[in-house]
Structure 1
Amino acid sequence: MRYLVVIEAGGYMVARLLLETREMVGEFDAAVEEVGSMTAGLVPVVGALGPEWDVALGGHSAEERASAMVYTLDI
């Protein structure tokens, strides 16, 4: 399992690919076609405010984390 978190960062939307342990393994522009392909048909959980996200999203504000879209990828 992996997570794809789409979150605002400095006025831009980025997609962060994280392992099940929430270790980040990649970050890219959320507007790229691959993000749409990976999330097609998936319903995101809105918000990443729980303590399990503190390290992975520590550089983001509470507002950014509250509006983050978290997709669970079965890969």
Structure 2
Amino acid sequence: MHSKPVRYLVLIDAAGASVARMFDEQLHQLNEIDGGSEEVAVMLRGLAPAHSAADPAWAQALRGHSAAERAAARVYTLDV
């Protein structure tokens, strides 16, 4: 069975800590890891965030986070 490729990585605050959430093209969450980990730094090397997660499309994917947390989040689009 093939796993879906990660298309977006979102760095978002969760209770004072940075969390990296990984999503597929349809904004289904695939994984979550510590946003300060070396793995995240390697994945994001050379990338700039495209936008915040304030767009309404992210509201369902990031439910449980406030509008302010979503607005402050950084969304990175990864090559697939």
- Shorter-chain TM-score: what band? over 0.9
After TM superposition, the score normalised by the length of structure 2 is 0.88
| 1:67 equivalenced with 2:67 (yes/no) | no
- Find the structure with the greater CA-based Rg: 2
Structure 1 unaligned runs (5+)? none
Deviates more, 1:1-10 or 1:20-29: 1-10
How far did residue 49 of structure 1 move?
1.2
After TM superposition, the score normalised by the length of structure 1 is 0.93
Q: How many residues align?
A: 75
Structure 2 unaligned runs (5+)? 1-5
> Runs (4+) of structure 1 moved beyond 3 Å?
none
* RMSD of equivalent CA atoms: 1.1
Structure with bigger strand share is: 1
